[in-house]
Structure 1
Amino acid sequence: MLKDVRFELLNRKTVKHDIVAGVTVGIVAIPLGMAFAIASGVKPEYGIYTTVIAGLLVALLGGSRFQIAGPTGAFIPILLGIVLQYGYEDLLVAGFMAGVFLLVMSFLKVGDLIHFVPRAVTVGFTAGIAVIIFTGQIGNFLGLEGVEQQEFFHRDMLEILRSIGTVNLLSVLTAVTGLAVIVLLTRFAPKVPAFLIALLIPTLIASIFYPGQVATIGTAYGGIPQKLPEFSFPQLTFQKVVELWQPALIIAALGAIESLLSAVVADGMAGGPTARSNRELFGQGVANMVTPLFGGIPATGAIARTATNIRSGAVSPMSGVVQSVFVLFVLVLFAPFASHVPLAAMAPILMFVAWNMSGIRPFAQIAGLRSGDSAVLLATFLLTVSVNLTVGVQAGFLLAVIMFLRKMSGKLVLQVKPAEKEDYLSGNVEPGSLFTSVKVSGPLFFGTVRAFELKLDQEIKKGPNALILRMKGLTALDAGGVAAMSEVLDKAALNGIRILLQGLPAEKRVLLSKSGLLEKIGKENVLK
């Protein structure tokens, strides 16, 4: 650990800053860990275990100085879906598999590709997740009875409507009190741990003035054990791997995106790029493999807690270590008190988190463009809400690729004109021969080869003695482009037409040489 450059600023003078930051973040992480676990359909202590274990491992093994890892709101819809469809035990298997995927991603250096994720997709699924989290807490906010969590959004809404007659006004009072505390503290006293206070005050009010009249963690989950989590290896079978590989991959992909975005945000707040993306994925992978062994749920870098860590004066990853130790200390000493926390007090915390992560401003900006990005955004958002995150992200990516290909297909420009005077003077073209020049500008790849083939087919049918392709403006070439050039060469040969290449960029020349096409064309037909 001492050789880790992330700890290079840690010394006797600076360690106190990490201790203060770690305790501050721990105070914020405790209510969030419980709330995210409950919203994911599991017991609140599993969120605490995740905060402790994942937070410690990512701090020690990750790639950022300031990253705080733990359960996050982004995971709620996918984790809840797994719990409802497969059960808690299989959630542990999926979490372990996600950790393996993250390790593989780190070795393949997938972290370098984070900048290629379309912003419209990111904003769309984040907004969709926010809607799911917010509406998922309406039942607890209103104190509704008999509401069962459903796999699909519309069924959840029907459940709420079916139970709307069971509204508990004391639960509403509890929730409104907590919400008021959060809003007032975040606006007028931002350094005060608003979420913790928003749990304590409603809990005290409910315990003193109307005990036993609102649902609590104790009545719903039996309280939180005052002990360390027990080690247990998930039952990993081939059948479960086949069943769970897709949700596990989604967990890994979402975790990778959120953790790397969090690291980028941390670098921006800290004043310079220091995070190593692939090492961050390695740390996240190890954390997500180990956490399920102690009953924890999937974790990733938490942007809000990481920002709190930096604002609290963190210097090194030691603050993340302190956070984990502090949360473990609170678990062992004060767990029994958590059983008195009303579920209605947890609801406004999650609703506030959902509101903050919704990204209303960027959503409105992209939607207002009325472009391909707008279509990608809305498709991702609507499918994430109405079906699930997996379908939403896949559809968003597919639509983004289609939009990109359409945009790129218009970038290929083919200009046809007679051979120039210097061609005759150089001896490349015989005087009096019918010779056509085609200037190729832009990318020649699988998305543009059709236009390339059609245009050159037209010129070949005109029956010139030769075609010279001026390739100086060629910006990109892939296997599809090489195949298209080979197809054109074959058609020209059948018609007795000579093909010459002029100005071919060096890197494109290497690709043609490796493919064998350069030899097929003939070195005498490749001009400078």
Structure 2
Amino acid sequence: MRQKSFLSGNFKGYNLASFQKDLLAGVVVGVIAIPLGMAFAIASGVKPEYGIYTTIIAGIIIALFGGSKFQIGGPTGAFIPILFGIVMVYGYENLLIAGFLAGIMLTLMGFFRLGTLIKFIPKSVTIGFTSGIAIIIFVGQIANFLGLSGVEKKESFHENILEIASNIGTINVYSVIIAGICLATVLLTPKVFPKVPGPLIGLVISTIVASVFFADQVPTIGSAFGAIPNTLPQFRIPDVTWDNVVLMMKPALIIALLGGIESLLSAVVADGMTNTKHNSNKELVGQGLANMITPLFGGIPATGAIARTATNIKNGAVSPISGVIHSLVVLLILLLFAPYASSIPLASMAPILMVVAWNMSERHVFMHVLKTRTGDSLILIVTFLLTIFVDLTAAVEVGLILAIVLFTKRMSENLVTAKALPNLDTDDKKVETGVVNDAHDCPQIAIFNVEGPLFFGAAMTFEHTIMNTINYKPKVLLLRMGKVPFIDITGESSLASIVRDFNKHGVVLLSGLSDQTKVMLNKTGLYDTIGEENIFAHTGEAINHALTKLDRNKCLGCKHFAFNECTQLSQSTTADPKGQEPLSTI
């Protein structure tokens, strides 16, 4: 996989002014990433410092080794339901193993150049599961927002709803006040101070209010998870066994697929904002390396963060240095201010995640797709509901299968197989379908216009249409296939069946074959079965050849007059075609 060198690719023309822009962007994004990193970790069922470690380590690796100049990597909201489910079922240690395995998978996906496969995932599927994840995140924060006590975290969505409902009587008014202050600050800060990170300001103000007025009245990070250490993460290899590897293979695949999808979507967003082009395969390798190394320091799975990447660009970033600076800012704040983070109320984290969920829901796009009332609407709803009530794996699998089925149905409907004849009333005598009727249809030559892909979804209809239409056994069957862009093995099989059946009493002619169709017919041997002498580049040549195959006795007295030559043929006094000059036609 040949790549541009790191320096020439990302730092060409880099200077002091560029560094100043990267420094500003990196500082802003780093400040924003701190509350998000802790919030995503807590919502995923792990300690908040693990989210900070992920932001530091994965952020640097993704910036340096990824395929986008502007990508900001770290923990994201999309991972929350998946990681929480893994922690609930398998435990934190196995989450580290799953993250490491996902990193290997992502790296291999990059090396095998699978980055471009992102374009084959329908938007209705991505919007469906993204909106479903947003609902799960939002609902998952209701308990902390209201300060409910006695709520047990469950793996399934409906069980969590029941837990909230059964404990609704334990609302903590102080938590609601703190959450309301933080929410108001997060929403209002961008309107008053656009350059100031609202989540951080919301955390600071609500934490100060809680500490001064409601001390010991609301749960905090410290009371729930203990103090956040202001030290560097320690290197530690997880306890890996073969049984654990096998056990975590499927969760790892889910992490890898979602991480790959989200990171590449983020890179596409960055391309649109900067008029650049990312390297999708290199991006997957960068994501893979990050997810292989981060678990060794206790970090959780990471991917490209769309919102933080967009913020990075809006603040003037020009190179991956901004991503490195963002991680170093988080590291510096961890070392200097970690003890103070223990005082942050859980109620302050809830509205931050709720706003993240609201923003990632893509509600406008969701409603737009829904209003189309097409197959995409069905895919969207199915993926959305399965994400919420089953899991992301089932949602994506069923969504993709449903998309393939509906696509196949649409494509099969595009195949048109209809009888045609030259339109003798026009100057060019173009072969058209609209001129065939009971009184104007050659009894010996059947011409069909075949238009559209001849593949497994349309092959049976194609075969039945022709065989049912020509049950009167014409002598020549001419298939005009100039508008068949491709044929698969099922389509070839149906064509072969027609040829075998028809060759018992007549001959099959083909015209206008595409290069792909010729290659397929040659590979299967059907080209030789039909015979090169019966395959033509143009319809006119095929019709001339077809006229030489006629039984002239049957032409006598014929009143259909399908071709220019029919007048002569119907009045001919001889039934022996030998020695005659070829009849001219269109």
TM range (shorter): over 0.9
- Contact 1:9-1:316 at 8 Å conserved across structures: no
Q: Deviations over 1:248-283 (max 9, x none)?
A: 22211111111111111111111x132111111111
Measure the CA separation in 2 of the matches of 1:7 and 1:434: 72
Amino acid aligned to 1:260 = L
Match in the other structure for 2:311: 308
1:462 aligns with 2:467: no
Q: Of 11, 25, 32, which aligns to 1:7?
A: 11
- On the 8 A contact 2:103/2:291 being kept in 1, the answer is yes
Amino acid corresponding to residue 356 of structure 1 in structure 2: N
1:522 to 531, 540, 553: 531
Q: How many Å separate the matches in 2 of 1:134 and 1:449?
A: 47
Pairing 1:10-89 to 2, within 5 Å after superposition = 10-89=14-93
CA distance in 1, matches of 2:415, 2:297: 55
Greater relative contact order (CA < 8 Å, ≥ 6 in sequence): 1
Matched residue type, 2:358? W
| Equivalence for 2:518 | 509
- Within 5 Å, give how 1:110-509 maps onto structure 2: 110-270=114-274, 272-417=275-420, 434-459=444-469, 461-493=471-503, 495-509=504-518
Task: Specify the SS of the correspondent of 2:358.
Answer: helix
Higher Rg = 2
Give the residue type in structure 2 aligned to 1:190.
Answer: P
User: CA–CA distance in 1 between the matches of 2:74 and 2:59?
Assistant: 6
Would the aligned equivalents of 1:22 and 1:321 in 2 still touch at CA under 8 Å? yes
Aligned residue in 1 for 2:540? none
**Partner Cα distance (2:371, 2:173) in 1:** 40
Q: Bigger shift: 229-238 or 84-93?
A: 229-238
Q: Structure 1 residue 418: deviation in Å?
A: 5.5
Between the aligned partners of 1:341 and 1:39, the Cα distance in structure 2 is 15
Q: Distance in 1 between matches of 2:465 and 2:234?
A: 69
Contact 1:247–1:390 (8 Å) recurs in 2: no
Superposition deviation, residue 57 in structure 1: 0.5
Q: Distance in 2 between matches of 1:483 and 1:333?
A: 71
Paired residue type of 1:328: L
Which residue identity lines up with residue 373 of structure 1 in the other structure? D
3-state DSSP class of the match of 1:471?
strand
Moved more, 439-448 or 109-118: 109-118
What is the CA–CA distance in structure 2 between the aligned matches of 1:502 and 1:151, rounded to whole Å? 60
Cα distance in 2 for partners of 1:14, 1:417 equals 66
Amino acid at match of 1:485: L
Residues 421 and 447 in structure 2, CA contact (< 8 A), matched pair in contact too: yes
Between 1:66-75 and 1:457-466, the stretch displaced more is 457-466
| Bigger shift: residues 516-525 or 501-510 | 516-525
Bigger helix fraction: 1
Gap change, CA 1:464 and 1:392, over 3 Å in 2? same
Instruction: Provide the TM-score with structure 1 as the length reference.
Output: 0.95
Aligned twin of 2:580: none
AA partner of residue 141 (structure 1) = F
Pair 1:473–1:352, CA change in 2 (3 A): same
- Displacement of 1:302 after TM fit? 0.5
Unmatched segments (≥5 aa) in structure 1 = 424-431
| Cα distance, 1:459 vs structure 2 | 4.2
Whether contact under 8 Å (2:71, 2:270) holds in the other structure is yes
Q: What letter is aligned with 1:293?
A: L
Taking the aligned partners of 1:149 and 1:182, their CA distance within structure 2 comes to 26
Q: CA deviation at 1:460?
A: 5.1
Shift of 1:238: 3.5
Letter in 2 for 1:443: P
Q: Give the distance between the partners of 2:128 and 2:6, measured in 1 at CA.
A: 41
- Are the aligned partners of 1:419 and 1:437 in contact in 2 as well (CA < 8 Å)? no
Deviations 1:116-162 (A, max 9, x none): 22111111111111100000000000111121111111100111111
**Cα drift, residue 17 of structure 1:** 1.1
Partner AA of 2:490 in structure 1? G
Q: In the aligned structure 1, how far is the partner of 2:516 from the partner of 2:235?
A: 54
Moved more, 17-26 or 411-420: 411-420
- Which 4+ stretches in 1 moved above 4 angstroms? 418-423
Query: Counterparts of 1:210 and 1:365 in 2: how far apart (Å)?
Result: 44
**What's the CA shift for 1:225?**
1.6
Percent of residue pairs bearing the same amino acid type: 53
C-alpha separation between the residues in 1 aligned to 2:362 and 2:385? 15
Residues 486 and 516 of structure 2 are in contact (CA less than 8 Å); yes or no, is this contact kept in structure 1? no
Maintained 8 Å contact 1:460/1:497 = no
Q: Distance in 2 between matches of 1:151 and 1:487?
A: 54
Which of 78, 98, 103 is residue 102 of structure 2 equivalent to? 98
What is the CA–CA distance in structure 2 between the aligned matches of 1:525 and 1:250, rounded to whole Å? Answer: 52
Tell me, in whole angstroms, the C-alpha distance in 1 between the residues paired with 2:14 and 2:490: 53
Deviations 1:184-211 (A, max 9, x none): 1022222111111111111111111121
Number of aligned residue pairs: 518
Return the offset for 1:401: 1.3
In the aligned structure 1, how far is the partner of 2:443 from the partner of 2:403?
A: 47
The alpha-carbon deviation at position 174 of structure 1 amounts to 0.6
Structure 1 stretch 366-375 or stretch 433-442: which is displaced more?
Answer: 433-442
What is the Cα-based RMSD across aligned positions, in Å?
1.8
Contact 1:56–1:324 (8 Å) recurs in 2: yes
Deviations 1:290-309 (A, max 9, x none): 11111111111101101111
Give the conservation status (yes or no) of the 8 Å contact 1:216–1:343. yes
Q: How far has the Cα of 1:420 moved from its partner?
A: 9.1
TM superposition score normalised by structure 2: 0.85
Q: State the one-letter code of the partner of 1:138.
A: I
Secondary structure of the 1:370 match is coil
The corresponding residue for 1:426 is: none
Q: Which residue identity lines up with residue 419 of structure 2 in the other structure?
A: V
Could you say which residue in structure 2 is the equivalent of 1:429? none
Give the Å deviation of 1:239. Answer: 2.9
- The secondary structure found in structure 2 opposite 1:144 is coil
Conserved in 1, the CA contact under 8 Å of 2:499 and 2:508? yes
Residue-by-residue CA offset, 1:407-456 (whole Å, 9 max, x unaligned): 11110000113589999xxxxxxxx9822111110111111111112112
* Equivalent-residue separation in structure 2 for 1:236 and 1:281 (angstroms): 24
Rounded to whole Å, the distance in 2 between the matches of 1:491 and 1:46 is 69
Q: Structure 2: how far apart are the matches of 1:193 and 1:266?
A: 20
Mapped to 2, the partners of 1:197 and 1:154 lie a distance apart of 33
Q: 1:284 to 1:2 in 2, by over 3 A?
A: closer
Cα deviation digits, residues 316-365 of structure 1 (max 9, x gap): 00001111111111112211111111100000000010111111111111
